Amino acid sequence: MRILVTRCSIRYEGRLVTTLETGDRVVLFKDDGAVVVHAGQGAKPINYMPGPTVVAEEGRTITVSRPSSGESLVIDVEDVHADTAWELEDTAKLVREGREKDIQATIFATPHAIEDGMVGLQRELFTEVGPVDLFCRDTDGRTCVIEVKRVRAVAAAVEQLTRYMEQVDRNVAHAPARGILVAPELAPQARVLLELRGYDFVPLDEVLSRCDGGQDLMRLF
């Protein structure tokens, strides 16, 4: 990654035309071809060009073009405060601690947000294949195994729910259990599997909109 700290003016031409007068900026030339311009204040970039791009330098003019869209970013450099390049390596995956558990706790406190008359029995019920997120009972007295995802549910989420269902159904007091998947949306394969297994899907945003404090959690995904 190249990091250029410079006093410059910038002109963008694409879907519209914008001009930034002279000011101090940080320009990031990322390895994927994206170019990001930050000002001294605020977290959001003031200019952004997604990769792949073509970068050409002639004198003190840097032209960033994106052939696929016809966009261009012309940076007229007046002064260079710093110009460095770094080899960055980061293979770590983001692990979100607590967020999904916060969502589970909020829903469990308001189980009827999933379905009218739903009653919560236990949260994180232990099984041999892992904890069931929400263990509930519907108005027909049927045990419900509920898996909650804070991101788009893929086929693996349905398989996970199936493993929990198999564990719960071993207990004749709860069999046959009912499977429910709560998530923002379903991937196509997940939807097909869900229908084949006879499970129900409830959109997460609808559930949280009926929970106390749910609106705040909705901003996290």
User: 99-218: which CATH topology?
Assistant: Trna Endonuclease; Chain: A, domain 1 (3.40.1350)
Take residue 62 and report the two structure tokens written for it: 């840097």
Q: What is the pLDDT of residue 68?
A: 83
Radius of gyration of the chain (CA): 25
Q: How far apart are CA 49 and CA 66, in angstroms?
A: 8
Domain borders along the chain are 2-85, 99-218
Q: How far apart are CA 49 and CA 12, in angstroms?
A: 10
Q: How far apart are CA 76 and CA 60, in angstroms?
A: 6
Q: How far apart are CA 158 and CA 183, in angstroms?
A: 11
Q: What is the pLDDT of residue 92?
A: 61
Take residue 200 and report the two structure tokens written for it: 């129900």
DSSP H helical ranges for the chain: 99-109, 155-168, 188-197, 204-209, 214-218
Q: What is the pLDDT of residue 96?
A: 44
> What is the mean pLDDT, run by run of 10 residues, along the chain of 221 residues?
95 88 94 89 82 92 90 94 87 55 88 92 90 93 94 92 94 94 92 94 89 56 48
Q: What is the pLDDT of residue 122?
A: 93
pTM of the model: 0.54
* Side-chain-facing half-sphere of 51: CA atoms under 13 Å: 11
* Side-chain-facing half-sphere of 120: CA atoms under 13 Å: 18
Inter-helix orientation angle 155-168/188-197, to 10°: 20
Q: What is the pLDDT of residue 213?
A: 59
Take residue 129 and report the two structure tokens written for it: 């294949």
CATH of region 2-85: 2.70.180.20
Q: How far is residue 29 from each of residues 32, 55, 69, 70, 88, measured CA to CA in Å?
A: 9, 9, 19, 19, 12
Helix (H, G, I), strand (E, B) or coil at 34: coil
